[in-house]
Each structure stands twice: as structure tokens, then as C-alpha cells.
Structure 1
Amino acid sequence: MKQGIHPNYKKVIFVDAQSGFSFLSGSTLHSNETMKWEDGNEYPVIKVDVSSDTHPFYTGRQKFSDVGGRVDRFKKKYNLK
């Protein structure tokens, strides 16, 4: 393998800005802000808008669009039966 072409992964704390949920993961992102984690070590903090704690797919609050309505409108628009 070539040397020097692979990213440098470090442990980073991701914090959901909406709920405050946080998790520790490896990342190539950098931040000047740090936070103490449960293991007693300090890690850089990256704030995210959406995580598994607030994303509709994971929370079960997902809205489903009316697929039948779209098909009916398409057929009506192009006079299809």
C-alpha cells in the first residue's frame, strides 16, 4: 500500500444540535472545540443538525407521501387510463 495517501482518523464526539445526543466515532473532521467523554478523555466536538436521535426514519415520525395521488395526477395530466 502507498504511504501517506490514507486519511488520519481520530476519535471525535458528534453532538446533535437539536437533542443534545452525543456519540463517539472515528472521523477525519477537525474542531477547535473539545469536550470530556465518559472515559475521561477529551475529544474534539463536531455539532450536527441531524443524527439517529432526531432523524425521522429512526424516530418513527416519518411522513409518507401519497403515491397513489401522484400516479392519479400523472394519468389525468396525460389522459391515460
Structure 2
Amino acid sequence: MKAGIHPDYHPVVFMDASTGFKFLSGSTKTSNQTIKWEDGKEYPLVTVEISSDSHPFYTGRQKFADKGGRVDRFKKKYNIK
């Protein structure tokens, strides 16, 4: 690698916002938040919306945020009967 042009690669804790699942991995992401990990060290904390703990492909279960479909929401928004 060419020196001085690549970001620093360091350990980071990623946390799933919907389930609270945390995992330690290497990344170039940075964060102002830190968290104490199981080994007693503090690492930057990066919050993610979806991880393997909450994604339907990995969990085998589908989660629906709302009951109405796209057409129903469109009709409701524009008051179409």
C-alpha cells in the first residue's frame, strides 16, 4: 500500500440499533462514542440499522414495519377511494 493515503484500520464495535446486538470488527470507521468491550478495553462504537442479527435473510424471519401496502398508503396520502 502507498503510505499516507489510506485511512487507519482499527478495531471498532458495531451495534445493531434495533436489537442491541454488538460485535467487534476491524474497520476504518470512526466515532465519538466509545464502549467498554468484554476484554476490558474501550473501542469506538458505531451504530448500524441492520446487522446479521436483525436482517431477515440471516434470521429466517420477516419483520414488517407497517400493515398497509404501498398502494394503500398512496391512496390514503392522496385521498383516493
Aligned with 2:39: secondary structure? coil
Alpha-carbon distance in structure 1 between the residues aligned to 2:9 and 2:2: 17
Paired residues in the alignment total 63
Aligned to 1:21: 21
Alpha-carbon distance in structure 2 between the residues aligned to 1:50 and 1:7: 24
Residues 16-40 of structure 1 deviation map (CA, whole Å, 9 limit, x = unaligned): 0000000000111111110000000
Could you list the structure 1 runs, at least 4 aligned residues long, displaced by more than 2 angstroms after superposition.
none
AA aligned to 1:7 is P
Question: Does residue 5 in structure 1 map to residue 5 in structure 2?
Answer: yes
Alpha-carbon distance in structure 2 between the residues aligned to 1:51 and 1:2: 32
Aligned to 1:59: 59
Percent identical across equivalent pairs? Answer: 68
Structure 2 residue runs of 5 or longer lacking an equivalent are 64-81
